[in-house]
């Protein structure tokens, strides 16, 4: 009888430990899935923003509104003789 009760107690303890570890792993998997979904959403938003920014008309508008950049005219560029000698 003592042997059976000791086996039963051992099995109960092992069962409890296995269930505890299993639940711990399941919560970790759920946490990782939530983080994965958040990262995936951020990546989609970055791709959307990048696609919006790289359209030519949007780039021109941003340049006109904020940066005021203009391309160089090759006819206006002069090269100094000092740089040609080096």
Tell me the backbone φ, ψ of residue 33, rounded to 5 degrees.
-65, -40
The pTM score is 0.53
Sorted by sequence, the CB contacts under 8 Å of residue 69 that are 6+ apart come out as 63
pLDDT in tens, 10-59: 999 999 999 999 999 999 999 999 999 999 999 998 888 888 777 888 87
pLDDT confidence band for 82 (50 / 70 / 90): low
pLDDT of residue 50: 83
């Amino acid at each position: 009888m003592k042997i059976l009760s000791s086996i039963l107690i051992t099995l109960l303890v092992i069962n409890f430990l296995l269930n505890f570890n299993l639940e711990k792993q399941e919560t970790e998997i759920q946490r990782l899935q939530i983080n994965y979904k958040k990262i995936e959403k951020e990546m989609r938003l970055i791709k959307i923003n990048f696609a919006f920014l790289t359209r030519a008309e949007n780039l021109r508008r941003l340049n006109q509104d904020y940066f005021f950049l203009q391309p160089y005219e090759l006819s206006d560029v002069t090269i100094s003789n000092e740089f040609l000698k080096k």
